[in-house]
């Protein structure tokens, strides 16, 4: 009787072990390639982590999820390598695959995912990473970077020539140093640009937009969120419907700046002279820097003000919000 029990336990253990192996298969595959070219990674669910190394080969480790048919790792010539999790036709109940992909540092990387988190680090080629419902995180020094997610957060911490980041319902954050322009947008998430850069185009519909440490021109808009910008030699256009606008810094010599808010206030903390045309329909104009009043209408809701010795032209318009000039 005892022998039968032992035998049953052994059989049960064997079945469980084989079931676990069927559910999740360990990966360790590699293919030789050139130091430049592209690597494309496709994964429906799970995670994708791409990092650079100094070998002229692509290695894939991690695990293949239950129900996945196989991993495709193919050098297709011309330095193009494709990494793809292949699913059966009409697949059901397929678990996510977690891929760790090592690539030559000079390769460009493209990642396409659906419900998988994506992380790319260390590559010096261009990066284009997209996920539908996962978060996207890119770091390092790619030549250019573009990152998108529909419902996940997007975070870039890079030194790059150009950076573009978009999310529909997630937040977008860009840090580091961008030699060219930063273009970021979100529909319902907050947008934060803390990168050192000379040009910013940033927008959000129902989230706030915060830009810091920039030097140059900015185009910033939000429908119901606040706009806050800090920088040097600032010029550009800032527009929001129901949020407030706060700008701190000095203005670009010879530049023009426009600030508009419908039901929110506008605050300017200027570190340099300026020539301002200020208009508000039902708000107040608060002059806390003793700017010289050049012209005012009877209601004092349209004023031409000169800060310091004058300087770049600034147009400020609000409907029901106050306008404040402060140090």
Q: What is the pLDDT of residues 144-160, one digit of tens each?
A: 999 999 999 999 999 99
Q: Is 252 left (phi over 0), alpha (psi -120 to 50) or beta?
A: beta
Residue 213 clears pLDDT 70, i.e. is over it: yes
What is the Cα–Cα distance from 195 to 174, expressed in whole angstroms? 6
Q: What is the number of other CB atoms lying within 10 angstroms of the CB of residue 93?
A: 6
**Tokens found for residue 119:** 């992380």
pTM of the model: 0.88
Distances (CA, A) of 53 to 103, 110, 160, 290: 6, 17, 19, 59
pLDDT attached to residue 298: 61
Residues 251/311, Cβ–Cβ less than 8 Å: yes
Q: What is the pLDDT of residues 293-326, one digit of tens each?
A: 888 876 778 999 999 889 999 999 999 999 999 9
Q: What is the pLDDT of residues 7-61, one digit of tens each?
A: 333 334 433 333 444 457 999 999 999 999 999 999 999 999 999 999 999 999 9
């Amino acid at each position: 009787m005892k022998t039968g029990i032992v035998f049953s336990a052994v059989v049960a253990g064997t079945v469980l072990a084989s079931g676990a192996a069927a559910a999740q298969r360990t990966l360790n595959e590699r293919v030789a390639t050139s130091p430049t070219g592209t690597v494309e990674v496709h994964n429906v669910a799970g995670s994708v982590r791409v990092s650079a190394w100094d070998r002229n080969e692509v290695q894939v480790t991690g695990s293949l999820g239950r129900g996945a048919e196989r991993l495709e790792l193919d050098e297709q010539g011309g330095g193009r390598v494709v990494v793809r999790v292949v699913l059966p036709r009409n697949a059901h109940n397929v678990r996510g695959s977690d891929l760790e992909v090592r690539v030559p540092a000079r390769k460009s990387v493209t990642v396409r995912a659906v419900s998988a988190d994506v992380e790319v680090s260390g590559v010096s080629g261009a990066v284009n990473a997209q996920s539908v419902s996962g978060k996207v995180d890119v770091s390092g020094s790619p030549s250019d970077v573009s990152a998108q997610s529909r419902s996940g957060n997007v975070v870039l911490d890079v030194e790059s020539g150009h950076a573009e980041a978009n999310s529909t319902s997630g937040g977008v954050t860009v840090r580091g140093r961008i030699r060219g322009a930063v273009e970021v947008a979100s529909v319902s998430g907050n947008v934060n640009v803390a990168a050192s850069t000379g040009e910013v185009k940033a927008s959000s519909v129902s989230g706030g937009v915060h830009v810091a440490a920039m030097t140059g021109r900015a185009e910033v808009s939000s429908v119901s969120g606040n706009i806050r910008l800090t920088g040097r030699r600032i010029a550009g256009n800032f527009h929001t419907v129901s949020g407030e606008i706060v700008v701190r810094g000095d203005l670009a010599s010879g530049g023009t700046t426009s600030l508009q808010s419908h039901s929110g206030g506008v605050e300017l903390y200027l570190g340099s002279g300026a020539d301002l045309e200020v208009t508000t329909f039902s708000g107040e104009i608060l002059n806390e820097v003793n700017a010289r009043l050049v012209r005012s209408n009877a209601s004092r809701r349209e004023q031409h003000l000169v800060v310091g010795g004058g300087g770049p032209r600034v147009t400020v318009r609000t409907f029901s919000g106050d306008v404040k000039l402060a140090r």
